[in-house]
Amino acid sequence: MRKVNGIISCNYEGIHSRELSPHRPLAATMVGGRYRLLDFALSSMVNSGVTTIGVITPEKYRSILDHIGAGKPWNLDRKNGGIYILPGSEFGLFSQGKKFLMADLQRNVEILERSSVEYIIVSGCNQVMNVNFTPVVDKTADLQADICLIYKNIKGISADEASGQVLTLAADGSVLDIIMNPDAAGSKEPRPWFIDAFVIKRSLLLKMTDGYSGHGNMDITQIIQRNIQRLKVQSYEHKGYLGRVESLRSYYQCNMDLLNHGVRHELFLGENKIFTKVKENPPTKYGAWSQAEDSIIAGGCTVNGKIERTVLFRGVQVETGAVVKNSIIMSDSYIGKDSILENVILDKYTYITDRSQIKGKAEEPLLILDRRMKLIHREKEREQV
Amino acid sequence: MPKKEMIAMLLAGGQGSRLECLTRNIAKPAVSFGGKYRIIDFSLSNCVNSGIDTVGVLTQYKPFLLHSYVGIGTAWDLDSDTGGLHILPPFVDEKGGGWYQGTADAIYRNLDYIEQYDPEYVLIISGDHIYQMDYSQMLAFHKTQKADVTVSVIEVPMAEASRFGIVVTDAQNRIKKFVEKPKAPESNLASMGIYIFNWAVLKKALVADEAASHSANDFGKDILPMLMTQKRKLAAYRFQGYWKDVGTIESYYDANMDLLAKQPEFDIFKTHKNIYTNSGIYPPHYVGKKAVIKNSLVTNGCTILGEVIHSILGFGVYVGEGTRIEDSILLPNCQIQQECFVRKTIVGENTIIRPYCTIGVKTNQQPSQSGITVIENHSEIMEDTQLEEGKILYRPTVA
């Protein structure tokens, strides 16, 4: 593998991403029982041999710093390279909808200047994927391209993805155009959707930060599109799974996709693992009356009720008689006796009282932010002290 | 090196031969326990939770897995510049060298290691018990007793007392008598193999013991009796709580199954101090559409398509469709393929059981070790195999 560096832009807020959580950035959103969205891009880079990675932070970045720490779970606590936290520059309206804000790079240009590598892998932070970037870098170098955009052929699209970009490709794979916000109705044929990850020459990226010094609110992909005639832009097809979290609905879908055997194997059980921050939890305990089917369950849970087509995060308690169906239950939540939950997403520390009944719609799951378990935990800690 | 008040020396070199095939290729402290842990996790976590930041781990028998598992102690927050975890294998010096001859010899040979920290006290523990204990409370007791040595003791049933080192104390908890494995025990206070020594006393005792030609170089057999005859002050610290030796197949099995009790005496969910472990990278476990799981512990990375009843599953275990697992312990990464029936069995790490096998078949004879079947790590059981209960299946060795 050629020596390359990585940049992950977490300073991204989509039109709908606030639906998920008002207090947590998209990159730190919890998926799949024990991961945060950022883990997928980060692990993909690490598994591709990248040992120097910059993470551009959004406005409320406490949870991201807490999660990454010194980068140990990704083997990024190193003397040479490692993880670099790059403070995001502009927030709110200025950057909304922008995935790769030029101002963020300009503010952190040192990471590019101090490096000596030829290529940089740039990725967004909201994709559920396990991508090997090595062949992408190789292709870029072999064809002596300036940029290589990664795409996936997707049939039709949901309204969420309307904010994405479709590539116009020539027969030789070179990119002729990038169509911003294409018609949501789309065509029935699969179209090459840009997956928010690309390889670019470091020298070119530096030139861009200089040349667009007065245009900090531009997205790098916009700059590429404007200069598409002058640059040698290639493409690379990602054939594996891609989930993209843009809204409550796509969040729900991405989690449910993981119940699929093939997707789970590709993401988690192959040679390249998805790394994440480790917490010390005991194994999950099933009681005498537990029933579980077609579900993903993280460590430290206590299951005494019934769960079906559900994702349980760490430390969730499901009491006897409770029935949880088609739901996502985030860490340390409590589901009281004989409660019935269907099509709901419970945020961290939610407390569901005994005999509650909460049902969302299948096409529009219900999100509950409660955090009462946090108070209960605190109370317990006080007792122990 | 900065001076330390107390450092720990963890004896992890024993073979644990009574665990049969489970310890044929790995040291006992490295044997998997409770799905997520290895036996040494409990002692190491106790050290960290007691505020001890310097631990010497003495290894000898088949140490490869143990060494790679423990590493530099990162998983227990013991990777530190001013102490931390050090693996201390046997070594040679200008006078020769050789294997550790006993527990006392192992510590004697590492006197220099202890010396560099110049501690007031040395805690001697082993890596083969399941318990949670705050050693700092024991140290506080040691200080108020103004003892030379404090031995941690626990009450055991009188009937089992002859298996342990038995301590007789006076009303002030001073040890009056110490007998290793007595035929006719005079009390039911058993030594837990946990000692706090004043460093000066320990050093002198080890040097004297090494010079004695007839000594077995063992703490229980030699060092403590010697100190008794020297009229040193030995105190007994009465530990209350769960403490289990997992030295035999039966006790290992029982200690695991204890975790499944409705209100376990040792509740890994209720301990307010973490039990740290060096866990691998595994996704949450997946439970299939036809799966049934009752009264069980399941660890990350498992895929369960069949039935799991009253069992413990380690990391990355696979249970195929139509398979039923009962009263069993499946160690990390083992694979039970479809349509098998596994009863009261310990299945080794990375072992594969092919389809249509029945393991733990009941017989008319009295089975050995309470009918627990054991299959060694890295074994492969061929399709349609029937294995009787109480069997210990070793992997065939390559000539």
- Exposure string of B161-181, with b = 16+ CB inside 10 Å and e = fewer, is beebbbbbbeeebebeebbee
Q: Report CB contact under 8 Å: A268, B290.
A: no
Superfamily of domain A4-269: Spore Coat Polysaccharide Biosynthesis Protein SpsA; Chain A (3.90.550.10)
When CB atoms are compared, the residue of B284, B288, B296 closest to A286 is: B296
When CB atoms are compared, the residue of B279, B281, B293 closest to A290 is: B293
Q: Where are the alpha helices (DSSP H) in B86-219?
A: 103-108, 111-115, 135-144, 199-211
Mutate to test the interface with B, among A39, A271, A280 (most CBs of B within 10 A): A280
Report the distance separating Cα B226 and Cα B197, nearest Å: 14
- Per the DSSP assignment, residues forming a β-bridge with B237 are B152
Q: Report CB contact under 8 Å: B269, A294.
A: no
Is B275's Cβ below 8 Å from some Cβ in A?
Answer: yes
- Over residues A322-341, the pLDDT tens digits come to 999 999 999 999 999 999 99
Determine the residue of chain A that is closest to B272 in CA distance: A384
Is it the case that residue A159 has pLDDT exceeding 70? no
Return phi, psi of residue A306, to 5°. Answer: -115, 135
Q: pTM here?
A: 0.93
Amino acid present at A260: N
Is B278's Cβ below 8 Å from some Cβ in A?
Answer: no
- Over residues A4-58, the pLDDT tens digits come to 999 999 998 877 777 888 788 999 999 999 999 999 999 999 999 999 999 999 9
- Per the DSSP assignment, residues forming a β-bridge with A204 are none
The confidence score (pLDDT) of residue A185 equals 56
Return phi, psi of residue B140, to 5°. Answer: -60, -40
The confidence score (pLDDT) of residue A384 equals 67
Question: CA of B289, closest CA in chain A: separation in Å?
Answer: 5
Amino acid present at B100: Y
Residues 6+ apart with CB under 8 A from B228: B175, B177, B178, B234
Give me the half-sphere count of Cα atoms (radius 13 Å) on the Cβ side of residue A116: 1
First to last CA, chain B: 49
Is it the case that residue A162 has pLDDT exceeding 60? no
Mutate to test the interface with A, among B33, B287, B325 (most CBs of A within 10 A): B287
Residues of A in contact with B276 (CB under 8 A): 280
Structure token digits, residue B149: 């040595």
- Exposure string of A129-141, with b = 16+ CB inside 10 Å and e = fewer, is bbbebbebbebbb
Residues of A in contact with B287 (CB under 8 A): 292-297
Q: Let me know: does A133 contact A50? Beta carbons within 8 Å.
A: yes
Rounded to an integer, what is the distance from CA B74 to the centroid of its chain?
Answer: 19
When CB atoms are compared, the residue of B275, B282, B295 closest to A286 is: B295
Q: Could you read off the pLDDT tens digit of each residue along chain B, which spans 399 residues? A: 678 999 999 999 988 888 989 999 899 999 999 999 999 999 999 999 999 999 999 999 999 999 999 999 999 999 998 899 999 999 998 888 889 999 999 999 999 999 999 999 999 999 989 999 999 999 999 999 999 999 999 999 998 899 899 999 999 999 999 998 899 999 999 999 999 999 999 999 999 999 998 899 999 999 999 999 999 999 999 999 999 989 899 999 999 999 999 899 998 888 778 899 998 889 999 999 999 999 999 999 999 999 999 999 999 999 999 999 999 999 999 999 999 999 999 999 999 999 999 999 998 888 888 999 999 999 999 999 999 999 999 998 766
Question: CA of B337, closest CA in chain A: separation in Å?
Answer: 16
The domain spans of chain A are: 4-269, 285-384
The confidence score (pLDDT) of residue A22 equals 77
The confidence score (pLDDT) of residue A385 equals 60
Report the distance separating Cα A43 and Cα A40, nearest Å: 5
- At the topology level, CATH places domain A285-384 in UDP N-Acetylglucosamine Acyltransferase; domain 1 (2.160.10)
Q: Let me know: does B50 contact B196? Beta carbons within 8 Å.
A: no
Report the distance separating Cα B291 and Cα A291, nearest Å: 8
Report the distance separating Cα B70 and Cα B41, nearest Å: 9
